[in-house]
């Protein structure tokens, strides 16, 4: 049996190139191969057990190379939108759809108006990036608070559990959390940008923690029972435009 502390060790690192793509390889005492494409520059990182020889590793990479190239380019293309200035012409997302931002100076109430393909931000003439961000964040938060209760209600009936309350906040490393002691769920504000099916996947994920606190085999079995396509949705979340593709759950 591999010692728990040894399991976390990095044995060695190397860089290889496959079909024109530079890939960082980290050998660690882990069970399976993990492939990630990291924003903002599309760095390709593979973490692999030392027992995997280079021939098998390269074979694995070739089997994924089309996916790697496609999603690497997507992340590179997205990087220019990663740090928002909240100005006219920027691309923003709401429930999985792209909207071009249009900023309008006004002496009236600051607000957001969602069009078919535009998101119009009405702000004071002297508004700052910080104040504009707050208006957008508050709008996203309000939209989630309109959408989430029906999803929770639906899954409470299906799963026969009860969520006492939910909240929305900015999270840097997680899409959601569940306090199993009081049956409270917190959701990442960024989920307002994702497709509804991804939002629903995260809600179901957190509600299943009411049955099982850890991400063990029982948890995954419950996910497969209630949401058979959860792995596809997990993949969709990790490759969807905008921000952090290396979040934990």
Q: Is the dihedral of CA 197, 200, 202, 205 positive or negative?
A: negative
Sheet containing 21-28: give its strands across: 10-18, 21-28, 43-48, 34-38
Helices (H), the chain: 4-7, 54-78, 129-159, 196-208, 217-226, 230-239
Q: Tell me the per-residue pLDDT of 66-112, one tens digit each, with 9 for 90 and over.
A: 999 988 887 777 654 456 889 998 889 999 998 999 999 999 999 99
- How buried is 136 (Cβ within 10 angstroms: 0-12 exposed, 13-18 middle, 19+ buried)? buried
Are 91 and 98 a contacting pair, CB within 8 Å?
Answer: yes
pLDDT recorded at residue 238: 80
Q: Which residues contact 171 (CB under 8 A, 6 or more apart)?
A: 177, 186, 188, 189, 190
Distances (CA, A) of 22 to 54, 69, 78: 15, 11, 19
Give the pLDDT of the chain (249 residues) as one tens digit per residue: 445 444 455 667 889 999 999 999 999 888 889 998 887 678 899 999 988 988 999 999 999 999 999 888 877 776 544 568 899 988 899 999 989 999 999 999 999 999 999 999 999 999 999 999 999 999 999 999 999 999 999 999 999 999 999 999 998 878 999 999 999 999 999 999 999 999 999 999 999 999 999 999 999 999 999 999 999 999 888 877 654 333 333
- What tokens does 172 get? 């840097």
Q: Tell me the per-residue pLDDT of 203-216, one tens digit each, with 9 for 90 and over.
A: 999 999 999 999 99
- How buried is 110 (Cβ within 10 angstroms: 0-12 exposed, 13-18 middle, 19+ buried)? middle
What Rg, from alpha-carbon coordinates, does the chain have? 21
Going along the chain from its start, the domains and CATH numbers come out as 4-80 (no CATH), 91-239 (3.30.2010.10)
């Amino acid at each position: 049996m591999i010692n728990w502390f040894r399991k976390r060790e990095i044995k060695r690192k190397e860089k290889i190139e496959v079909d024109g793509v530079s890939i960082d390889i980290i050998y660690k005492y882990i069970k399976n191969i993990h492939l990630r494409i990291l924003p903002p520059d599309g760095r390709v990182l593979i973490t692999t057990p030392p027992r995997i020889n280079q021939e098998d590793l390269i074979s694995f990479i070739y089997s994924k190379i089309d996916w790697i190239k496609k999603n690497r380019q997507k992340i590179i293309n997205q990087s220019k939108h990663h740090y928002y200035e909240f100005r006219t012409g920027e691309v923003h997302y709401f429930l999985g759809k792209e909207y071009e931002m249009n900023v309008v100076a006004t002496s009236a109430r600051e607000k957001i108006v969602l069009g078919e393909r535009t998101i119009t931000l009405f702000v004071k003439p002297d508004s700052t990036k910080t104040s504009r961000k707050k208006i957008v964040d508050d709008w996203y938060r309000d939209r989630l608070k309109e959408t989430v209760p029906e999803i929770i209600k639906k899954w409470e009936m299906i799963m026969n559990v009860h969520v006492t309350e939910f909240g929305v906040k900015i999270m840097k490393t997680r899409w959601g959390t569940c306090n199993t002691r009081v049956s409270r769920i917190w959701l990442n504000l960024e989920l307002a940008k994702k497709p509804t099916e991804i939002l629903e996947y995260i809600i179901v994920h957190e509600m299943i923690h009411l049955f099982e606190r850890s991400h063990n085999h029982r948890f995954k079995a419950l996910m497969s029972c209630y949401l058979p396509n959860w792995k596809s949705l997990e993949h969709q979340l990790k490759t969807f435009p905008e921000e952090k593709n290396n979040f934990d759950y």
